[in-house]
Amino acid sequence: MRRAVTAAAMGAVVLAGLVGCGSGGDGRTAEASDRAEASAGGRTGSAEVARSGGTVGPAGSPCALPVSFDTAADWKAEEVTDAEQALDDMPEDMKELGLDEVAREMLRQGPVTAACEVDGDGAGHLGFLRVWTAGPSGDDATTVLKDFVDAETEGVEEARYSTFETADGLAAAEVRYLTMSVLWEELVPRRALAVVTPDGPVVVHLGGTDEEEHEAMLPAYELARTTLHTT
| Buried residues in 60-97 as b, exposed as e (16+ CB within 10 A) | ebbbbbbbbbbbbebbbbbbbeebeebbeeeeeeeeeb
Q: Which residues contact 85 (CB under 8 A, 6 or more apart)?
A: none
| Rg over CA atoms, the chain | 17
Is the per-residue pLDDT at 147 higher than 90?
A: yes
- pLDDT computed for residue 70 by the predictor: 98
Over the stretch 8-44, which tens digit does the pLDDT of each residue have? 333 444 444 445 443 333 333 333 334 333 333 334 3
State the pLDDT confidence band at 109, using cuts at 50, 70 and 90: very high
Q: What single DSSP character describes residue 26? A: T
- What is the rounded distance in angstroms from the CA atom of residue 169 to the CA atom of residue 42? 21
Kindly list the structural domains of the chain, giving each domain's residue range(s) and its CATH number in brackets, ordered by start: 25-80+109-230 (3.40.1000.10)
Selected residue with higher pLDDT from 95 and 148: 148
Is the per-residue pLDDT at 3 higher than 50?
A: no
- pLDDT computed for residue 85 by the predictor: 64
Q: What average pLDDT does this structure show over 190-198? A: 97
Query: Is this prediction's pTM over 0.85?
Result: no
110: left (phi over 0), alpha (psi -120 to 50) or beta: left
Q: What average pLDDT does this structure show over 54-83? A: 93
Over the stretch 202-225, which tens digit does the pLDDT of each residue have? 999 999 989 999 999 999 999 999
Coil vs helix vs strand at 169:
coil
Angle at 77 between CA 23 and CA 62, to 5 degrees: 35
Of the candidates 223, 165, 169, 167, the residue with the CA atom closest to the CA atom of residue 191: 223
State the pLDDT confidence band at 86, using cuts at 50, 70 and 90: low
- What is the rounded distance in angstroms from the CA atom of residue 13 to the CA atom of residue 69? 27
Coil vs helix vs strand at 166:
coil
Of the candidates 111, 49, 121, the residue with the CA atom closest to the CA atom of residue 78: 121
State the pLDDT confidence band at 124, using cuts at 50, 70 and 90: very high
Contact 126, 132 (CB under 8 A): no
Comparing 1-10, 49-58, 203-212, the range with the smallest average pLDDT is 1-10
- pLDDT computed for residue 131 by the predictor: 97
Of the candidates 187, 182, 225, 145, the residue with the CA atom closest to the CA atom of residue 39: 187
Percent of the chain with pLDDT over 90: 60
Q: What H or E segment, with its residue span, contains residue 30?
A: helix 28-40
